A and B are shown apart, each in its own frame.
Chain A
Amino acid sequence: MSRLSEHFAALRSRNEKALVCFVTAGDPNPDATVALVETLAKAGADCVEIGIPFSDPLADGPSIQASSQRALEQGMTVRKSLEVIRRIRARVPDLPLIPMTYYNPIRHFGLTEYARQAKEAGADGHIVTDLTPEEAEEWKRICIAEGLDTIFLLAPTSTTARIEIVTALSDGFVYCVSRTGVTGLRDDIPAELRDVVTNIKAYTDKPVFVGFGISRPEHVERIVAFADGVVVGTSLVNLIHKERDNPDLLEIVYQYVASLKAATR
């Protein structure tokens, strides 16, 4: 079993839901990212997605776009992102780590070489936002060979046929997008979400996590009533950006993430 699957099975046996956090590698800088992920782990994050920045993140809203842009302007690259992951792994030996990116940067790097280096750096699996199972055959084969998980997404628009394909091919968990749209803050939780998740769960025993638009403990509490976990990205990216020069940055992030984690128990 992969680290992801083991970790989430253990959570399930404790009757606990998962908190997945997202940060962009290199925003505000690589050292900060390493320290931040260590803090996320201490605060109770069950898994961290590390965004490898891409110039044209078409599934992301303004906050993560800007964060990616800042990271790129800092000189972040795929290679440097892997270096950040390697340093994170040295600090948090057991935390599931998932690089999240778009297809072009890793394709350009060379899929096989990228996967080899990502594994060696300590990644457990990947989310490639613009790679659906149909286009992921080669990538999936390479990841299997390296012992890396591939996580695929489902959306409220997904048909039964697609739910069957994606739940069969996604490793570790299935990522359910909370609404049609890009990443970004939202006040409410869509009324249809419970039905969407419940329907997906009818096709799989794999954990189903919900992401996009989740920022508050009360969102988390409501979603984990029917899903196995939540992914929090934009609000964390915003918080880090806002407090980047604050000497108490790590403490502030710790408090916020701990409050989210408390809502999963």
Chain B
Amino acid sequence: MTTATAEYALLPDERGRFGVYGGRFVPETLIPALDELTLAYAAAQQDPAFQKELDGHLKDYVGRATPLYYAERLSDEYGAKIYLKREDLCHTGAHKINNALGQILLARRMGKPRIIAETGAGQHGVAVATVCARFGVECEVYMGEEDTQRQALNVARMKLLGARVIPVTSGTATLKDATNEAIRDWVTNVRNTHYIIGSVVGPHPYPMIVRDFQSVIGREARVQILEKEGRLPDYVIACVGGGSNAMGIFYPFLNDGAVNLLGVEAAGEGLNSGKHCAPLTAGTLGVLHGSASYLMQDSDGQVAVTHSISAGLDYPGVGPEHAWMKDAGRAKYVSITDNEALEGLQKLAHREGIICALETAHAVAYLEKMRPQLTPETILIINCSGRGDKDMNTVVQSLELT
């Protein structure tokens, strides 16, 4: 595997391809904007001042580096060494701010005075609203109507931060439809607007840019685990919605062939129930929101209706680089049901005093499946992508805690 892995970090190619995945499947109107973004990003990468500014904000505003926390009582329970990468401790409560911050700096370089975003769980929306407030930029966030209800706390936060939240009622009124609406807005207002996509999805160069901005997670984690354990982990585990927290923590480990990368998708009510959103586990090649990847779709190529208890995973597509890593065998993708995720969430709360997001709970819950193969020497890092405050309504209802 080591020889093959040397290539991993080189993708995408200049057409935005990860093998057969990725690309740019968008209306013509957007092509010049994507070209502009590609150029602006390349220039920013070459510019030490950009990196310095980004690093400064990541440190003082976001609160990085986030801890790599040894979860002692969870480790006892599973008989292995379990570390949590504490992205839940980032300002705004999830990894999403790493990308939002990078992209707002790019938008400023491009001179775009207006920002739009889509959001599912609301964590990306909150992150974008936050950086827009910080830099004094107009901000509009598209959110599926169903999600505005199940993530009401985050709607209130966005409003308080000065963003306009636009509920989307078309289609299934979740993340997929919010993304459609955001793209329609961008097609219309492309001249003065930058679209901050929230995950490693969308047309090239987005999957690359979002991955790069999120890779700070894996870079830190790699240094931290070497400090604490003197060796690399056996497993890195992350939940996968669009795939940004997973890509962010996986990427710096791609060339470390001995590190097993595990992405956990949402199996909803079960893969056989038809009510899930696990495109890598149960989808087929398709094109949605500008890139080719695995997709949940019906026999006619219509995008399927998805379900997950977690709004941030409730998405029929997935980032093209994950699709490529799956086919290449570099990462493995598995899935966890709603109920299993709820158990994972409680386990982490009881054992470590950490209430994580429902998205994150999918990664935590996978420990249960790994139990038979764990030994006291096994080292695992779980990306604790976000905190759970936003999910209290859902959790209270599901667990009948009231």
Contacts and interface: CB of A to CB of B under 8 A. Distances in A.
Interface stretch (B63-71, B299-307, B335-343): B299-307
A31 interface: no
Nearest to A107: B287
Interface stretch (B52-60, B183-191, B345-353): B183-191
A134 B15 contact: yes
B300 A77 contact: yes
Nearest to A57: B180
Contact of A129 (B27, B302, B303): B27
Contacts of B30: 157
Nearest to A77: B300
B376 interface: no
A62 to B, nearest CB: 8
A182 B300 CA distance: 24
Interface stretch (B18-26, B94-102, B119-127, B259-267): B18-26
A108 B29 CA distance: 25
A225 interface: no
B301 A157 contact: no
Interface residues of B, number: 36
A209 interface: no
Contacts, number: 107
Contact of A130 (B27, B301, B303): B27
A162 B28 contact: yes
Contacts of B288: 56, 104
A132 B24 contact: yes
B32 interface: yes
B23 A135 contact: yes
B301 A158 contact: no
A77 B301 CA distance: 9
Contact of B28 (A72, A77, A153): A153
A55 B30 CA distance: 21
B289 interface: yes
A32 interface: no
B190 A130 contact: no
Binding site secondary structure of chain B: mixed
A41 interface: no
Contacts of A182: 184, 187-188
B187 A181 contact: yes
B153 interface: no
B358 to A, nearest CB: 25
A156 B289 CA distance: 22
Nearest to B188: A181
A140 to B, nearest CB: 15
A131 B35 CA distance: 16
Contact of A180 (B180, B188, B286, B297): B188
B171 A55 contact: yes
B27 A153 contact: yes
B176 interface: yes
A78 B26 contact: no
Interface string B168-190: 00110000100010011001111
Interface string B14-46: 010000000111111111110100000000000
B302 A130 contact: no
Interface in A2-40: none
A104 B301 contact: yes
Contacts of B35: 159
Contacts of A103: 25, 287
Given A104-B303, A180-B190, 7 more contacts: A56-B176, A58-B184, A103-B287, A130-B25, A132-B28, A155-B28, A159-B35
Interface of A: 54-56, 58-59, 61-62, 65, 69, 72, 77-79, 103-109, 129-132, 134-135, 152-159, 162, 166, 177, 180-182
11 contacts: A58-B180, A104-B286, A105-B302, A107-B301, A109-B301, A130-B25, A135-B25, A155-B29, A177-B29, A181-B187, A182-B187
